[in-house]
């Protein structure tokens, strides 16, 4: 369930995290919060997202499909080949 809340932004760009959100996320005074932004929406979390975390079997299969598509489209390269290329370029044995 998603709950929508509204707060005002100060001239200095500050806002207050609603008490209900602070309580639910365990955010105390002085705690650091993390902002994520996808170009259209922003959200705040109590801990940074772990980009390697797999949250479900569906998530696993979606990430696997994305990785396979990246390989098929040549958007990724073999790490050993990149390492060898950089070593040769910079004269590192």
Q: What is the pLDDT of residue 20?
A: 92
> In the chain, what are the domain boundaries?
1-48, 57-90
Q: Residue 35: name the closest of 18, 17, 20, 11 by CA.
A: 17
What is the fold of 1-48?
Pemi-like Protein 1; Chain: D (2.10.260)
Model pLDDT for residues 61-90, shown as the tens digit of each residue: 999 999 999 999 999 998 999 999 999 999
Given pLDDT bands bounded at 50, 70 and 90, which one contains residue 92? very high
What's the average model confidence in pLDDT over 38-54? 85
Per-chain mean pLDDT for the chain: 90
Q: Residue 21: name the closest of 38, 39, 2 by CA.
A: 2
Q: What is the pLDDT of residue 1?
A: 78
What's the average model confidence in pLDDT over 43-55? 82
Distance between CA atoms of 91 and 3, rounded to whole angstroms? 57
3-class SS shares of the chain: helix, strand, coil, % to 5: 40, 10, 55
How is residue 47 written in tokens? 């801990």
């Amino acid at each position: 369930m998603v709950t929508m809340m509204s707060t005002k932004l100060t001239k200095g760009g500050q806002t207050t995290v609603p008490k209900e959100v602070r309580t639910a996320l365990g955010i105390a005074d002085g705690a650091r919060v993390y902002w994520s932004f996808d170009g259209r929406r922003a959200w705040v979390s109590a801990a940074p997202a772990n980009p390697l975390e797999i949250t479900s079997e569906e998530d696993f299969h979606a990430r696997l499909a994305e990785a396979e598509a990246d390989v098929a489209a040549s958007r990724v390269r073999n790490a050993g080949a990149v390492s060898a290329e950089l070593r040769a370029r910079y004269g590192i044995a």
